[in-house]
Amino acid sequence: MRRIVYSLLLSAALMSQSAAAAPNDLPGVSVMSVEQWGGTPADPAKARRQTISHITLHHQGETYPVGKDPIAYLRNLQTWSRNTKHWLDIPYHYIIDLDGKVYAGRDIGYAGDTNTEYDPVGHALIEVVGNFEEVEPNAAQLKAVADLMAALALKYHLPLDAIASHKDYSAQTVCPGEHLYAYLQDGYFKREVALRLARSTR
């Protein structure tokens, strides 16, 4: 009997450790894993490790037409990131598609990459597909961004002031595009995150 109880306790402990170690496990947000969309994990020996202290919003910066396959996009992005840019992996930790679905990119324990001068160590990088210099983000994308930011703030114990965008750290970019940046500039995302965090403590 003691052996059975010990075995059950050990199994529960291992499951708990496994859940705690899952880098893209976020409260209240469904994230499609790299394995699920057909990507391959990055080599941890080549990674820069990080502790999350910022939540940073990006856009794809390219036209993303309705009907485009997000799985194909992610696979191509991973291949391009590694083979052309010689980066560790997709530069972003999370990618949000036109339907507001969230996909895992780079392991969040590894610092991202950028074409600009800022150092993204410590930043949880969120990319929203589309070019928001040209188009408006849709309602599903806005909700997904707010949900994801709130989950990250909750998990990593971050204040609202940790939420910003690529252009807030770099003078070399307009990312995340004026139409998405407007929701940061007017405080929309911080208000939505605050509401979600308040609900989570009730």
pLDDT tens-place string over residues 27-43: 889 999 999 999 999 99
What is the average pLDDT value for the chain, to the nearest integer? 90
123-155: pLDDT as tens digits: 999 999 999 999 999 999 999 999 999 999 999
Q: What percent of the residues of the chain are helix, what percent strand, and what percent coil, each to the nearest 5?
A: 45, 10, 45
- The model's confidence at residue 202, banded by pLDDT at 50, 70 and 90, is low
Does residue 20 lie in a domain region?
Answer: no
Residue 10 domain-assigned (yes or no) = no
Residue entry with tokens 């750290």: 169
Task: Give the domain range for residue 191.
Answer: 26-200
How far apart CA 3 and CA 8 sit, in angstroms, is 9
What is the reported pTM? 0.87
Cα diameter, the chain: 66
96 within domain boundaries:
yes
The 3-state DSSP class for residue 175 equals: coil
Give the per-residue pLDDT at 21. 36
The answer to whether residue 8 is domain-embedded is: no
Question: Which has more pLDDT, 26 or 20?
Answer: 26
CATH number of domain containing 45? 3.40.80.10
Distance, C-alpha 157 to centroid of its chain = 16
CB 166, CB 56: distance < 8 Å: yes
Tell me the C-alpha distance between 165 and 116, whole Å: 13
Is residue 9 included in any domain, yes or no? no
Tens digits of per-residue pLDDT, 79-102? 999 999 999 999 999 999 999 999
Q: What pLDDT was estimated at residue 24? A: 57
CA distances from 114 to 13, 88, 92, 180 (A): 38, 11, 9, 19
- CA separation (Å) from 145 to 21, 42, 73? 23, 25, 19
In a domain? residue 1: no
* Count of domains observed in the chain: 1
Question: Pairing state of beta strands 31-32 and 54-59?
Answer: unpaired
Residues 6+ apart with CB under 8 A from 56: 120, 123, 124, 125, 126, 164, 165, 166, 168, 169
